[in-house]
Amino acid sequence: MTSPGRAEEVHRHPSDLIGSVILGLNDGIVTTLVFVLSVAAVSGSGRHAVVVAGLAEMLAGGVSMFLGGYSAARAVKEAYLYQVEVERHEIREEPEEERAEVSRMYRDKGFGGALLEQIVRHVTSDPERWLHVMVRDELGRPPEEQSASWQAGVAIGMSFMAGALVPLIAFLVGVPQPRWTAVILSICALVVTGAARSRFSRKTWLRGAGEMVAIGLLGTLAGYLIGTVLAVAF
């Protein structure tokens, strides 16, 4: 039960890791689909070669995505902290310009007259409060309110490997026509991923799924073209 005067919050707040998960899944599915189709075409549908190469690509890609996601998250946080220090320096060295910026900021929010002057005076009376307001308005959430760098790396790396496993399943199990099965499984996974992503956007699940499937079909076409060219060349 909610207490009087408190409205129950029912809307969803997507995790800031959702982008990393979607990127990892999409990249894992499409990249590995293209890879296994190319290897299967070059190796004459040799299952063993596709499985070994596919698993190696899945593991290497997962590690690479983990390191890339970790490094990217670290770089974003370091850039954020640098900008915080820049703001701190400007408040200390150029207070009038920064005070005018606070005034403009709250004027744009709809405040004016004596109330605007009171707000600006209150904000700028304390350097830390002043810094907090400037940082929040210009840079958004501070790093401590976001996911840790290693969490971003793990999210994208594990998502990549999970996605990469989808087109590999047909070759691991050894079903007839594994290439077509890999394509079908990948498209189904893209449909589910696209539909899940639409829950945190204004898109319908059908549009979200359609966009992801379109990416998968382009990857499939690329895989066949690459495999055909390599088979002819070598």
pLDDT of residue 44: 66
> Which segments within 83-212 are labelled E, that is strand?
none
pLDDT at 223 over 60: yes
DSSP 126-167: SHHHHHHHHHHHHH-S-GGGS--HHHHHHHHHHHHHHHHHHH
pLDDT of residue 159: 92
> Quick check: helix, strand or coil at residue 177?
coil
Q: How close are the terminal C-alpha atoms of the chain, in Å?
A: 69
Tell me the pLDDT band of 13, cut-offs 50, 70 and 90: very low
More confident residue, 231 or 47: 47
Whole-number pLDDT of residue 194? 81
Tokens, residue 29: 């599915």
**Banded pLDDT at 12 (limits 50, 70, 90):** very low
Question: Is the confidence at residue 151, as pLDDT, over 80?
Answer: yes
User: To the nearest whole number, what is the mean pLDDT of the chain?
Assistant: 81
The CA-based angle 12-14-18, given to 5 degrees, is 155
pLDDT of 214 = 86
Distance CA 164, CA 26 (A): 9
User: pLDDT by residue (tens digit) across 69-124?
Assistant: 888 888 888 888 888 888 889 888 888 988 888 899 888 888 888 898 898 899 88
pLDDT in tens, 158-173: 999 999 999 999 898 8
Give the model's confidence band at 142: pLDDT under 50 very low, under 70 low, under 90 confident, else very high: low
More confident residue, 15 or 25: 25
| Per-residue pLDDT, 4 | 46
Cα 116 from Cα 106, distance rounded (Å) = 7
